[in-house]
Each structure stands twice: as C-alpha cells, then as structure tokens.
Amino acid sequence: IKNVYFFGNGKAEGDASMRNELGGKGANLAEMTNLGIPVPPGFTISTEICAFYAKSKKYPVGLDKEVLAVLQKLEKTMGKKLGDPDDPLLVSVRSGAPVSLPGMMDTILNLGINDKSVKGLAARTGNTRFAWDAYRRFIQMYGDVVMLVPYEEFEGAINDLKKKRGVELDTDLTARDLEELVGEYKKIVKKTTGKDFPQQPMDQLWGAINAVFGSWMNERAIKYRQLNDIRNIKGTAVNVQSMVFGNFGEDSGTGVCFSRDPSTGENEFYGEYLMNAQGEDVVAGIRTPEKISTLAKRNKKIYDQLVGIKNKLEKHFRDMQDMEFTVQQGKLFILQTRNGKRTGAAAVKCAVDMVAEKLIDKETAVQRVSPALLDQLLHPMIDLKVLKTAKSMTRGLNASPGAACGKIVFSANDAEEWQARGEKVLLVRKDTSPEDIGGMVASQGILTSTGGMTSHAAVVARGMGTPCVAGAKEAIVQGHTLFIGTKKFSEGDWITIDGSTGEVYEGKLPLVTPDISKDMDTFLKWCDDIRASAKRGSLKGFEVRTNADQPEDAKRAFAFGAQGVGLCRTEHMFFDKDKLIHFRAMIVADTLEERKAALKEILPLQQKDFFGIFKAMEGRPVTIRLLDPPLHEFVPHTLEETQELAEFLKVSVESLQPKIDRLHEQNPMLGHRGCRLAVTYPEIYNMQVEAIALAAAECISKKIPVQPEIMIPIVITARELKLLRPNAEAILKRVFDKAGVKLHVKIGTMIEVPRAAIRSGHIARYADFFSFGTNDLTQMTFAFSRDDVASFLPAYLQQNVLDVDPFKSIDEEGVGWLISYATQQGRAVNPDLKVGICGEHGGDPLTIDFCYRAGLSYVSCSPFRVPLARLAAAQAVL
C-alpha cells in the first residue's frame, strides 16, 4: 500500500477526496496542484502512518525507502538536493489532520540547512544575510519543537546580541551578527539537550517527521480533541514541501487572504500581507501587515493573479477559502487553502449568497452553518478584540448562552432593588430556587457555584434568554463576598460572564449585539421546508416547538419560528406572588372545602395565563403540563413566610407550624410530585383542567384559534392515567358544553421515569401523545441528581468515564435506548402517536439528531434556542 503521495509539476498523486488519508492540508495541496495552481512541490505522508506510529512508536517496514524515493523525485523536480553544500533544497514540514487541530505541532521551516549548505545558499542567492537568517530561524524552530529546547533560551540569546549591538529590530542585525547567533544557538542546543544540532539533512527530516506524528498524542492535542468531541480520526498527516521565500527583498512577500470577509460574509476579497517577510513575521505581529487591496497598487500583476486564483479556488471548492501565499522574487505561490472559519453572521450570509450565485444548493447551504454559529447571532457577545486578550478567572458550565456584565448582587431581592434604581446587576449565588425568579428576571446574567445543565438556574435562565454560567466550582460565595482563586469580590463589583463558553471575567468587558438579518430568515425558511418533508411514523414533519410558561416567552418563541408549545410548566405560574399564598393555603388546608376554596382563587389567574399563551401561539398546539414540582417546594421555608401565611389564614404560627413540618420531605424529587399530587389531591389538576377549558372557550368565543393539549407528568403506570384521564375529560366536557363550544383536547403524558418508558406500550393506550421529559429521565436513569452533578461530573468527564454531560446531550446508549424503545412500543399500539421531547436536551443539536433517528415527531426547547433547533433539525433530516 501507498503511504507517501507526491504533488508537483501540475500533477499530484492525491486529491481533495482523500482528506482522511492526506489530512485537510495535504488533500488540498494535491487538489490545487491538479488544478494548475502554483503550489511549491512536495509530498504528504498519510495519516495511516500516524496511527501506526502512535501505537508502536515505530514505522512500518519500508517507509524509509518510500520517503527516500519521493524525496528524490522532489529533488529532481526542483533541480536541487536536500543539504547540497552548493545549492541546497530547503523544505518545510507541517502537520495537517483531517480536521483542523490547533493543539498540535504545526510547522518547521527552512529544513535542510547545515553548516555547509548555509554557505551554498548564500552563494546561490547572493544574499549572505538571508542565508544565515534562515539558518538561525531553522535552529530556533527545530530546537523548540523537535528538540524541546525552551524557547526563551533562544529569545534571550537574540535579545542579548541586539543589546550588545545597540539595535532594536531583528532586521538590524547583520549577516555577521546572525552567523554569530547561529553559533550561540548551537551551544544552547548542546547545553540543554546534550546533543549537537543535527547536520545530516535526513536526520533533520526524520526528526521533524517524528515530532509531527508524536504531537498527535501530546497532552494539548488530546485535550483539544476531547473538548471538541473529535473522535474516529486516524491521526495527522505530514506535509513536506519545498520552501519558497517571501523575505528575498522588496519583490517578495507573504500573506493570508480570504475569498470573502470572514467576519461579515460580504463578497469582498479580504486579507493582509507583508513585503519582504516570512509567514511567521505576519503572525508575530512585529510589523503591521497591509490590507490586501493595497497590493493592487504595489504589484498589479501579482494581485490580479491572486484574485484569479481565489476565484478559481472558491468556485472549485464551492466555499469561502482561507489561503496562504508567498511571493518569491515576483513569482506567486499558494501554500495552503482551506474552507475559511467564519462568524455566525458570515456563515449565514455566505450560505445565502452562494445559493443566489448558484454555487451551492439549499441543502448544502443548510449543512454549511453549524447550529452553534447560528446561536451566536441571537445573543450579545464579548467584543472579540477584547476577548483575545481577556483572561478568564474560572470556568463553569455554559448553561445559557450570551455574555453579560453587571454589578454583583447576592440575593434575588437585592437584584430587584438595585435594578429598580437603574443598576445593571449580575446575580451570584450558590444555586437558585423558584423564589428567586424575580431577581433572575432583574439580572443581566446569573452565576452559580453549584448545579448542572438542568439545575433550576440553568433551566430558568435559558427560558428567559438570560446568560448563565452554572456550577462554577471555584466561585465560592460566602455571605456577601465572592471568592475566585485569590481574588475577592464584594457586592457592587463588576464581573462579566460568558454563558456560551462558561468563562467568568473580572470587571466590565465590552459587549456587542449582532443584528439579525434578512438572510437569517431566508436561511431558516429553507430549514423549515426540509423539516416539513420528513416522515415520522404515519405523520409528516419534524417539528420544533418551544418550552414557554409566560405569554411573552411564547410570543418570542413564535417570532423565532416555534410551531407550538411543547411544554408549559404550570408551576412557574404558582410561584408568582399573588398565587403562591393561595397555593400555600391550599396545601395546609384541613378539608376538601378549604382546599377547593383556595384553588378557586388561583383558577382565574391560571385562566388568564393560559389565554395569553393560546393567543400568542395563534392556533398552534400548546401542551400544558399539569402541576409537577414536589409539594415540599411550596411550603413556607422561613419564619417570615410562615408568619405571612398564618396572617393570611388568620391562624397562629404555632398551629400552622406542625402542618408545615409534616410536609417536609427528605428527598422531594422522589417524593410527592407530579401526578402523585393528583392521586392524593385530585382537585388540583381538576382546577387546572378547568382553567385550560375556560381559557380555550374564551378564545373560541373571541374567534382566536386554539389547540390546547393536556400533559400529565411523572407517570409510572397506565393506571395513573386510567384514574386521572376521565376526571379531565369530564371537566372539559362540562365546561365546553356549558360554553356551547366544540373542541377536542388531546390528553397525553410525559415519559420521564424509566418505569414509564418500560411500560410505554400499556401507557400508550391511555395517552394521545408522549413527551420525553429527559431531564428527569436522565436523572432517574443515571440516579444522578440534576441539581448536584457539579460535584462529580467533571471528574467523570476528565477521566473518560463518560464522554459527555448526559444532561447536555442525550446518553444514546442508555436514556436514548429507553426513548427509542418507548417510541416503538407506543407507536405499535397507536401508529398516530405524536412523540416529542421537552427536556432541556431538546435544544441540543446532537440530541436533536438522535431524536430524528429515534422517530420523534418534534423537539421542544427554550425560545432562544428555537432558531438553532430549526437548523439542527433540518440537518438531522438531510
């Protein structure tokens, strides 16, 4: 088998389709060569060899011969020999994996120079300074990345020399100086490694090849692959390419350019270059590069040629290209091309423009934009210019995207008070609870030190579109002080959080809010068309709904394109101050009459909420979940609250307290919650169903289209539904008959307990639809408390016990298996069964892809995630 692939002289042994074997860089160098683009000749050693080397620290037998043969071909093509004392061939050695991997060793330049060939190079080029400069750069790079000499050693030597000569810039050093520096550098190598700097060109070459292959398994690269979920890649390829020089004088230069603007997507040639420089000078930022447009004036011929090439490459690859070029004595070479990285705005604009230009079709356009990039467009971000140099203090979970800055407050009440007087606040807490809702609304962002991706803070923040960093373990809250490492913050100090990355910064960083464009609408409509065509059991379409508890949330989600409400959590309505007191009165009531009386107070308020949501959704389905949280959460927790309730009920605190104590639970999440509440107190659900029916009847009387669905949570057995469903049906009938309206209301259930998934075939007999509550289903399948995972989950991820946070992306093997099984069982009983997901996973692109494969009819996610979900769902369908 072939392991080494030549490219040069207009012909290459590989091509762009061989990305897996040749890496992105190698495959594109081959493709460009075949296209007749001027690429310095060279060869690529395949990723297979990397895999072999990673396992055995050896190379397959015969590789050395294969490399030698291709090297000879290269030498013949170039008319020069590696290390030739009279006219040496110099090469670069670079890594290049099938996906870009910044954690790896990157580049060695000028390989092939030694004590003899440096003189030949000087003679041939007629430029002694250039030759010695190339040699010292080579020792510096090779010493650093191959021989692991600390970089500062070289830096120190060159700085000492400059001081001695009384000069400031590297370029002020003469040929003699550089020759002296090479001597110094060689001493440094000997001193720190105990070895001489290699003089044999083949030793140099293999040293570099070993280093590139070795870097695949270095800690940084492994970490990067882990963080970015990059798996199933064999390794990196090695590209050996003949050197061209941009530092040959004023008719030489080097630069980087993009075929379109990577930050706006505008179809404008974009880039920077430096005359008389090598690539590293552009990167090092010592001299300020010039805009590519000025090259047109300086060297029209080269500029026109470059424009021709970028047009050709963009047309060929049908995507925006990011290219590196070098001009050597008036001759242009392209050293690399790849699909350019871009911002969310640019991604959408390029995709839409390229469809209009007939460069790509809509399906390709939809696949081009990653959901995470699209998400960028919906939230404020830290100004990229500042972000580059900003140092984060600590990192938590990226619980709700977007950046926020504000003055620290430590309680929800303070948040509300400070906000009322016009302050921008950031709520910092150990965790949050339902009572904090007002303070959360008042805050720019939320930072918690405990809790996972589905903790209260995370779920609520996402729902509101408020940035949130959760579970930042190193952010320690003690009273009214926040400690992060050695830093101490008091109330009123500014901090900035980035909920998209989980980073926390000191002070007030500048934020920018991207504008949502017309292109985005066009783009998302294409996504909708793709989704609409999907087949799901006997149903059509893979829909995106939203989780919304308030009319404003529903309105926002509707504007973002939600096709219905997949989850309306009614408990949030109870935590509202007006309702909470009545609800508390209800749960401490002694008699059915008292309970009914308290509920009666809540009924009109619930009806109003429901009406608002129905109206906002303009006739699209609205799934209302009946009350779920543990009773425990509604119980007064402080003396103040108890007093307030006692006053309201006109009883003494002493007589009330024992009742409250009785309601205390050791493990509320596994306690008196969900439909268990209705089995013990049917009047709660009955009241809610009545409010739903009344709100629906009100809509109909006002000619507002309406489509409510009732959802019963925490079900474990069909018998619960068998018991509760008739109650709901009777109430619906009574209300509708009385109002003289006709409306069919579906009654379905959540599958969020493993037992329910296992018994789904039976449950489906009593349910018109299923919705997977994957927060609880994950919690209960793993037996991981969703509010307490922060203490151990990081260790699980670090030590590879788990690949991903199961509260972020669905665990396909376990929880996902239950979902697939329950969907099949349910549809076997009822082929029209609509099946969706409403846990937080519903807004996660990987999970959305899984849901499609599992046959689900829709996903439901928080309003701000709806656009992203429309895209991810379309990508799943394609």
Q: Which residues bind to ligand PEP, rule: CB under 6 A? A: 567, 569, 628, 752, 773-776, 838-839
Q: What is the DSSP string of 315-343?
A: HHHTS-EEEEEEEETTEEEEEEEEEPP--
- Dihedral, CA of residue 651, residue 653, residue 659 and residue 661, to nearest 10: 170
Least CB distance from residue 507 to ligand PEP, whole Å? 35
Binding partner of 567, given Mg ion, ligand PEP, none, CB within 5-8 angstroms per partner class: ligand PEP
Site for Mg ion in 564-623 (CB under 5 A): none
User: Which tokens sit at 305?
Assistant: 């040629």
Give me the residue label for tokens 């299923």.
770
Could you give the angle at the alpha carbon of 752 between the alpha carbons of 589 and 618, nearest 5°? 80
Between 342 and 673, name the residue whose CB sits nearer to Mg ion: 673
Residue 81: Cβ within 10 Å count? 19
User: Which tokens sit at 546?
Assistant: 């939203």
Helices (DSSP H) in 402-540: which residue ranges?
412-420, 437-442, 456-464, 518-532
Pick the piece of the chain touching Mg ion (CB under 5 A) from 225-233, 532-540, 700-708, 771-779.
771-779
Backbone region of residue 167 per phi and psi (left: phi > 0; alpha: psi in -120 to 50; beta: other values): beta
* Residue nearest Mg ion, Cβ-based: 776
Binding partner of 569, given Mg ion, ligand PEP, none, CB within 5-8 angstroms per partner class: ligand PEP
Distance between CA atoms of residues 428 and 514, nearest Å: 26
Where in 342-383 does DSSP place strands (E)? 381-382
Between 321 and 809, name the residue whose CB sits nearer to ligand PEP: 809
Bridge partners of residue 351, in order along the sequence: none
Query: Is residue 773 near Mg ion by the rule CB under 5 A?
Result: yes
Least CB distance from residue 26 to Mg ion, whole Å? 50
- Residue length, the chain? 878
Between 179 and 628, name the residue whose CB sits nearer to ligand PEP: 628
Q: How far apart are the first and last CA of the chain?
A: 35
Cα–Cα nearest to 453, from 749, 15, 847 = 847
Between 716 and 829, name the residue whose CB sits nearer to Mg ion: 716
Q: Residue positions in the annotated binding site for substrate?
A: 569, 625, 752, 773-776
Least CB distance from residue 779 to ligand PEP, whole Å? 7
User: Which tokens sit at 175?
Assistant: 């040929």
Least CB distance from residue 584 to ligand PEP, whole Å? 20
Least CB distance from residue 672 to Mg ion, whole Å? 14
Binding partner of 787, given Mg ion, ligand PEP, none, CB within 5-8 angstroms per partner class: none
Q: Which of 257, 379, 456, 841 is catalytic?
A: 456
Between 776 and 844, name the residue whose CB sits nearer to ligand PEP: 776
Site for Mg ion in 450-509 (CB under 5 A): none
Sign, Cα dihedral of 681, 682, 685, 688: negative
Query: Is residue 549 near Mg ion by the rule CB under 5 A?
Result: no
* 866: three-class secondary structure by DSSP: helix
Query: Is residue 752 near Mg ion by the rule CB under 5 A?
Result: yes
Least CB distance from residue 238 to ligand PEP, whole Å? 48
Q: Give the containing element (helix H, strand E) for 861.
A: strand 858-861
* 730: three-class secondary structure by DSSP: helix
Between 211 and 460, name the residue whose CB sits nearer to Mg ion: 460
Known catalytic membership, residue 456: yes
Between 282 and 627, name the residue whose CB sits nearer to Mg ion: 627
Site for Mg ion in 223-242 (CB under 5 A): none
Known catalytic membership, residue 838: yes
Distance between CA atoms of residues 373 and 355, nearest Å: 19
Q: Which of 257, 568, 699, 838 is catalytic?
A: 838
Query: Is residue 776 near Mg ion by the rule CB under 5 A?
Result: yes
Q: In terms of C-beta density within 10 A (0-12 exposed, 13-18 middle, 19 or more buried), how is residue 622 classed?
A: buried
Least CB distance from residue 752 to Mg ion, whole Å? 5
Q: Which residue ranges make up the site for Mg ion (CB under 5 A)?
A: 752, 773, 776
The catalytic site residues sit at: 456, 838
